[in-house]
């Protein structure tokens, strides 16, 4: 049996987290002593491991509770699923790392990359996956309309739009040393906002929400920071300046 403190140290989570999992019925202690202390057996440790795998895959606690609460929940099958998903993420991260390394050499003048190569790690398949997740997280009708508009453009127009968007980020990276408040950066943020019209037209609060998402969502942050370290945070700062100036 392990105490809350022992399990906390072992799993790298806080005692407060374990208490919260207990309160919501996600991870109950195996035994509660007369002194009120919680104790966890190996079965609870394996359950906590499952929870942490699901958390690593960005699932909300409510969803994890529903999945693990099913009568047909199979821990071995779940572990196999975790392994497959993590391998996919590893493959993607390796592509991003390769792009970062190549971009560093490009910016040092030691390698030449085309604009297409700068964004080679950001596949259409990944964009489709994010769009599907967006339907679950945001207004589904808006997301579907955005997808409809995108597909209606045709391949040639899509390539032109992507090239225009890529150029926005290339120019933004080049202007980063001038600061988020500089006229040059703010002009690029205006171009970024206008580029959104190809998909949908966000209001000022939604623009700021997008910039926040680029930082708060690990995948978006990885995408942006792969283009240039700190780009996600710089985008958030620059967009906040842009929004504040228009409110």
Q: What pLDDT is stored for residue 244 in this prediction? A: 94
**What is the CATH topology of the domain spanning 2-68?**
Multidrug-efflux Transporter Regulator; Chain: A; Domain 2 (1.10.1660)
Span 117-130, pLDDT tens digits: 666 555 555 555 54
Please check whether residue 219 is in contact with residue 95, taking contact to mean a CB–CB distance below 8 angstroms: no
Q: What pLDDT is stored for residue 65 in this prediction? A: 87
Distance CA 61, CA 41 (A): 22
What mean pLDDT comes out for the span 154-166?
Answer: 82
Of all residues in the chain, the percent with pLDDT exceeding 70 is 85
Q: What pLDDT is stored for residue 143 in this prediction? A: 63
Q: Which residue has the higher pLDDT, 209 or 58?
A: 209
Distance CA 1, CA 43 (A): 10
Q: Which residue has the higher pLDDT, 234 or 104?
A: 234
pLDDT band at 73 (very low <50, low <70, confident <90, very high): confident
Q: Does residue 31 have a pLDDT over 80? A: yes
172: closest CA among 111, 234, 123? 234
- 87-244: CATH number: 1.10.490.50
Q: What pLDDT is stored for residue 23 in this prediction? A: 92
Distance CA 4, CA 7 (A): 5
Distance CA 171, CA 238 (A): 14
Q: What pLDDT is stored for residue 130 in this prediction? A: 47
- Mean pLDDT, the chain, whole residue set: 81
Please, where in the chain does CATH 1.10.490.50 lie? 87-244
Q: How is residue 56 written in tokens? A: 């690593």
Q: What pLDDT is stored for residue 115 in this prediction? A: 57
pLDDT band at 148 (very low <50, low <70, confident <90, very high): confident
What mean pLDDT comes out for the span 166-190?
Answer: 93
Q: What pLDDT is stored for residue 131 in this prediction? A: 47
Please, where in the chain does CATH 1.10.1660.10 lie? 2-68
* Total-model pTM: 0.49
């Amino acid at each position: 049996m392990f105490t809350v403190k022992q399990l906390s140290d072992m799993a790298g989570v806080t005692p407060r987290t374990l208490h919260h999992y207990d309160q919501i019925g996600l991870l109950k202690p195996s035994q509660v002593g007369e002194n009120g202390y919680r104790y966890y057996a190996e079965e609870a440790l394996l359950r906590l491991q499952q929870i942490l795998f699901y958390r690593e895959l960005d699932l909300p606690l409510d969803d994890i509770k529903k999945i693990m609460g099913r009568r047909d929940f199979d821990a071995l099958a779940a572990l196999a699923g975790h392994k497959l998903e993590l391998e996919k993420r590893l493959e993607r991260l390796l592509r991003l790392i390769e792009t970062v390394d190549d971009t560093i050499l490009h910016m040092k003048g030691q390698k030449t990359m085309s604009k297409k190569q700068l964004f080679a790690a950001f596949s259409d398949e990944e964009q489709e996956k994010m769009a599907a997740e967006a339907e679950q997280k945001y207004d589904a009708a808006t997301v579907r309309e955005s997808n409809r508009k995108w597909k209606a453009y045709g391949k040639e127009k899509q390539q032109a739009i992507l090239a225009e968007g890529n150029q926005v980020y290339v120019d933004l990276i080049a202007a980063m040393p001038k600061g988020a408040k500089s006229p040059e950066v703010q002009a690029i943020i205006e171009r970024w906002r206008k580029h959104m019209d190809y998909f949908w037209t966000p209001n000022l609060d939604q623009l700021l929400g997008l910039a926040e998402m680029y930082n708060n969502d690990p995948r978006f942050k990885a995408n942006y920071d792969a283009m240039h370290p700190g780009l996600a945070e710089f985008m958030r700062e620059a967009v906040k300046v842009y929004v504040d100036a228009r409110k």
